[in-house]
Amino acid sequence: MSHERFTPSREVYHRIRWDPRLDAREFVIGYDAHSGEMEEVPFAAFVPDGEIPWHRVWYFRRGPERVWDRKSRTDVLAELAAGPATSSASAPPPAEAAPAFTPIPAYRYDAHAEAWCEDVPPDTVDTEALPSPEALTVATFNVLFDLYDAELIDTRRRIPAALSLLRSVDADLIALQEVTEPFLRVLLATPWIREHYFLSDGPVSATVKPYGQLLLSRFPFASLRQCVFTRDKRVIAGELRLKGGPLWVATPHLTSNRTASPDSARAAQLRTIVDWANALGPEAPDVVLAGDFNLGEDTSAAQAFAQEGFVDVWPLLRPEEPGFTFDPERNALATAMTVTGRRQRLDRVLVRSRSGRLTPRTVSLFGETPLPPPEAPAGGPLFTSDHFGVRCVLRLDEPRVPPPPPALSRALSAAPVHESAVVLIPPEGQWGPLQALRAQHDRNYQRWMPHVTLLYPFIPEEHFLEAEALIEEALRSVTPFQVTLTGFDFFEHRASVTAWLQPEDQPHGALKSLQAALEAALPHCDEQGRKSERGFTPHLSVGQLPRSAPADIRQTLSTWEQDWRPLSFEVREVCLISRRGNGPFAVRRRVALGGARHPTAQPHTTLHEVLSARGELDSGEASQAHAQAVKHLEAVCARLGVALYPYGSFRMGMSRPGSDVDAVAIGPARLSREDFAQALLQALSQETGSEGARFIADAALPLVKLSLDGVPFDVSYASRPEDAAPCPPSELLVRYGERLDPEGFRSLTGWADTEALLGCAGPEGPERERFRTVLRAVKAWAKARGVYSHALGYLGGFSWAVLVAWACLRAPRESSRSEEQLLAYFFEMFAAWPWPLPVTLTPGTARYTPEGKRDLMPVVAPALPPRNTARNVSRSTLRVLRDEFARASEVLRRARSEGTAEAWEALFAPVDVSRQMPARVVVSIEAESPEDRQVAAGWVLGHLTALVYRLEGDRRLFLRPFPPAQPEGPFLVGLAVQGQEGEEALSLHPGSALRQTLDAFRESFHAWSHRPPGASLSLRLAVD
């Protein structure tokens, strides 16, 4: 046994990560922190080949059990992955087989036998005796398994709380996820469960090892099936025989973003579910899906469900409410479990009723209230689960006539979706008072333009061309009319109120006639006409108010009316709008009243003028000066036997006054990096026009910083292997890349990345120049808004170039006819980008997989090997970037509409630091000379992200680092608090988390071995 190979920690890590039978989020990694004791990190947060080397990984833990331990030489991972022998009901199919739905038994409690028994459905059924409920209540709830961070979630208290909560929900059908064997045992022993429900699992716990899903039904199951995706990701589906036809209810739990390639895994699982639903038989029975879908809003997977005819009940009934079921801002358990900190609507109820008998009536959340004291073991209130549950009531009617067959028209047969609509939009020139009101009161201000809804939900955007033809025909006899937005009214919802402006039409009834004509053209998009007994109610929503007495609401609206002046305009067109991803709704097509086509308005062409006025365009002088300086330095390097290869902004033709030139010098093996640096410094000392040259040996990438002929340079170095003849960088990488030292390899990949990016930006000519113009605008915006800095946790110049190149490659033709359209597309796309989905440019980098907390915003370099160029982005700086993208998208929309220099300048307005962040950590440097201050400032800038990460350890804090006004500082990190107890996070009393973090940062500066003599660092908290 002593000669058997012990599996190394690297191999164990990748086995856990890639083995579909293992759930990575169940595992914790223990490592030697050089503090005399072991520390632990969640598996998902560990960065392979990162700051913790493999030899310091000492164990992997799953729950209380160490499944791999270096000291004791324990390795039970193989047995764990194999799992215990199970019945055929729970065994997954062979790895090479496609997932299939297989039968499993149902269970009922036999009071005479005092035991749970398999429930065998009768061979024949009296159709008259079938249940015929008028409504069905469906509930779905992820109860949070306790195999991970068990000590933090107090399952002993949560299980009875969950059962009490489910009883109060009073659902006919209950779908549970993350059910464990202990949870199931308690469930089976609960009297009201025994009395009222049939279950999809029983005492054998076949589908919940180590955790899984469970279906409970007040009606007997005619059949039950499951499809196993991985050890604990599956779908369980039950068939109910009701009067009017069968109903299938399925509970999925799809792959989460914690696993590798989650999007592709979910896409395959979705396809399996949809194929199963479509293959249920010629009668096309109704289907309800209720579970944890692990989908973000507006993902392609969510769209695919809609395209297959499934209706997502929450946005259908409560389109103006987010419905977050996983909410780290409200739920302390979600805060403890989250990796991204994002609020998400993961749990959903989807309905497809081809018979027309199922109509969603209400939908709500449950489990939103914390349990009574005591608090959770980790502090703060304890919730029943990290998810909130969803409760939906479906009305059952008699089956209706099915919709027309697809052959009639795809526009007539496509299922309506909530990502498109037909609306009436006031002229943009009159938006001012509307947007001022909406900005204060409407949480959907950025998602929707001001509008009067005519058809919503509407057919998917892919069918707009056919819909346009139908609408154009329907509106041939509808003539333009006048609308005046006068007084205010409101709609009441369960927990809120929607305030809206009343559109008075002239002639009276014109708006309702317009909507009726549209509905007649597309009769299956009739929701607006049947929302209330009064039929279609024209309105323009301006905000939401808390639910209160009607008299109080009218009092509030009357105060609004005092400042409102009626706004009139002529209705000459309707607009087909849609939103893509998480972006705002945008007009895709316009249909004029009277049948005439609406001419496409051309945007103002002012971007080039604005950039020129700001001095962002290359006048030619800067390029010439940079080119001459590069030739000068090439000659100096040539005398040393070294070849110089510039890359970055200079190579991309983006030189401007003050910008530096990045370059890599390639020399022979006999010339070490230190020898090259000293030789270059010596040679430069003899050159006219040279100043400030110094070698920064302890930088992440050692380099020589210098200024030559007024142009700053950053020069790194790579030496060829012994037997390598002089050759271009591309050949050196291909032939000798594995023999280069890490610093040399990284220097050369900088050059290779630039060349690959230029290939993506198109050949020299109009395409390349459009790329440069948009990139100049993006860089100018990023610098003005303080988000142009890799060192501060935002994006550096190359990362911004990758994003712009992606926009140039991916923009559809209608979004790239001009530089202004391309810039708008850039901001619209990245305001809605579902990070951490990587942005990649080349096929070789397309399979990049985010790993850990350093991959929150993967902007992948185009050359191999794939690398994230934005690894400094943190939880807070990602939020800053998202907010800035959204702001820029809205400001740019207004700028393109107004077309004035003033409107464009708003895009580049600097951040008001004191207004944005009234509380700030101020980092100041004292040194004996300007040179020493410059060196010390370099240390601070290089370590500021570490300070941000430490501060972010307090989840109550949100941070915004600001670029310093001067290179030597002071450096500012804005602080904002989150949650009711957030103010305590700003305390500097002895022992507070903030004080400890600032003291540790100061001490690390003073312990710096290269700290200039006499240099000191001070940190203080400034609060306005």
**809 Cβ contact partners less than 8 Å away, ≥ 6 residues apart:** 760, 841
- What secondary structure, in 3-state letters, does 528-591 show? HHHCCCCCCCCCEEEEEEECCCHHHHHHHHHHHHHHCCCEEEEECEEEEEECCCCCCCEEEEEE
Predicted TM-score (pTM) above 0.85: no
Hey, what are 59's tokens?
């164990």
CA quadruple 637, 638, 642, 644: dihedral, nearest 10: 60
pLDDT band at 3 (very low <50, low <70, confident <90, very high): very low
Of 331-335, 355-359, 628-632, 818-822, which has the strongest mean pLDDT? 628-632
pLDDT at 284: 62
d(CA 285, CA 272): 17
Contacts 24+ apart (CB under 8 A), 151-155: 151/377, 152/336, 152/376, 152/377, 152/378, 153/333, 153/336, 153/376, 153/377, 153/386, 154/376, 154/377, 154/382, 155/182
What integer is the mean pLDDT of 463-491? 88
The structural architecture, per CATH, of the domain 102-396 is: 4-Layer Sandwich (3.60)
pLDDT at 407: 33
> Could you give the percent of the chain with pLDDT greater than 90?
45
Closest CA to 743 of 781, 703, 692: 703
- DSSP assignment string, 838-850: PB--SGGGTT---
What integer is the mean pLDDT of 76-102? 50
508 Rama class: left (phi>0) / alpha (psi -120 to 50) / beta: beta
pLDDT at 460: 86
Of 121-125, 370-374, 626-630, which has the strongest mean pLDDT? 626-630
Residue 659 has pLDDT above 80, yes or no: yes
d(CA 154, CA 600): 61
Specify the domain boundaries for CATH 3.30.460.10 within the chain.
Answer: 614-759
Residue 14 has pLDDT above 60, yes or no: yes
For 56-85, write each residue's pLDDT tens digit. 888 988 877 888 888 888 888 766 655 443
Hey, what are 318's tokens?
């409560």
CB atoms within 10 A of CB 146: 22
Range of weakest confidence among 38-52, 215-229, 871-885, 991-1005: 38-52
Check the CA dihedral 957-960-964-968 and report its sign: positive
For 960-982, write each residue's pLDDT tens digit. 999 999 989 999 999 998 765 66
Q: What CATH number does domain 763-906 carry, 3.80.10.10, 1.10.3130.10, 3.40.47.10, 1.10.1410.10?
A: 1.10.1410.10
pLDDT at 595: 47
Specify the domain boundaries for CATH 3.90.1140.10 within the chain.
Answer: 406-592
d(CA 832, CA 346): 17
Residue 2 has pLDDT above 70, yes or no: no
Q: Is the Cβ–Cβ distance between 650 and 664 less than 8 Å?
A: no
- What secondary structure, in 3-state letters, does 253-307 show? ECCCCCCCCHHHHHHHHHHHHHHHHHCCCCCCCEEEEEEECCCCCCCHHHHHHHH
Distance between terminal CA atoms of the chain? Answer: 68
Q: Which amino acid is at 525?
A: C
Strands 690-696 and 586-592: unpaired
Of 30-39, 128-137, 424-433, 856-865, which has the strongest mean pLDDT? 856-865
For 183-237, write each residue's pLDDT tens digit. 999 999 999 999 999 999 999 888 888 789 999 999 999 899 998 877 667 899 9
What integer is the mean pLDDT of 549-565? 90
Helix 300-307 / helix 262-278 crossing angle, nearest 10 deg: 10
CATH code linked to domain 914-1023: 3.30.70.590
Specify the domain boundaries for CATH 3.60.10.10 within the chain.
Answer: 102-396
What integer is the mean pLDDT of 877-893? 91
Q: Which amino acid is at 238?
A: G
Q: Is the Cβ–Cβ distance between 411 and 522 less than 8 Å?
A: yes
Q: Which residue has the tokens 């004292």?
A: 926
Phi, psi of 371, deg, nearest 5: -70, 155
pLDDT band at 390 (very low <50, low <70, confident <90, very high): very high
Between these two residues, 512 and 321, which has the higher pLDDT value? 512
CATH code linked to domain 406-592: 3.90.1140.10
Range of weakest confidence among 63-77, 123-137, 242-256: 123-137
Range of weakest confidence among 220-234, 515-529, 924-938: 220-234
Strands (E), 807-944: 919-926
Of 151-165, 254-268, 514-528, 757-771, which has the strongest mean pLDDT? 514-528
pLDDT band at 396 (very low <50, low <70, confident <90, very high): confident
Between these two residues, 22 and 449, which has the higher pLDDT value? 449
Between these two residues, 761 and 709, which has the higher pLDDT value? 709
Task: Report cis status (omega within 30 of 0) of the bond before 865.
Answer: yes
Q: Compute CA distances 518 → 3, 41, 454, 472, whole Å.
A: 79, 58, 8, 9
What integer is the mean pLDDT of 407-419? 71
Residue 406 has pLDDT above 60, yes or no: no
Q: Considering the chain, what is the average pLDDT of its residues? A: 85
d(CA 55, CA 31): 9
pLDDT at 123: 67
Residue 564 has pLDDT above 70, yes or no: yes
CB atoms within 10 A of CB 4: 8
Range of weakest confidence among 40-44, 220-224, 239-243, 859-863: 40-44
Nearest 5 degrees, angle CA 606-CA 607-CA 612?
A: 100
pLDDT band at 53 (very low <50, low <70, confident <90, very high): confident
Residue 597 has pLDDT above 90, yes or no: no
Residue 93 has pLDDT above 70, yes or no: no
**576 Cβ contact partners less than 8 Å away, ≥ 6 residues apart:** 420, 421, 422, 458, 464, 467, 468, 471, 587, 588, 589, 590, 591
Specify the domain boundaries for CATH 3.30.70.590 within the chain.
Answer: 914-1023
d(CA 154, CA 141): 18
Residue 596 has pLDDT above 50, yes or no: no
CATH superfamily of 614-759: Beta Polymerase, domain 2 (3.30.460.10)
- DSSP assignment string, 933-997: HHHHHHHHHHHHHHHHHHHHTSTTEEEEEE--SSTT--EEEEEEE-STTGGGGG--STT-HHHHH
Of 693-697, 857-861, 950-954, which has the strongest mean pLDDT? 857-861
CA quadruple 159, 160, 162, 163: dihedral, nearest 10: 120
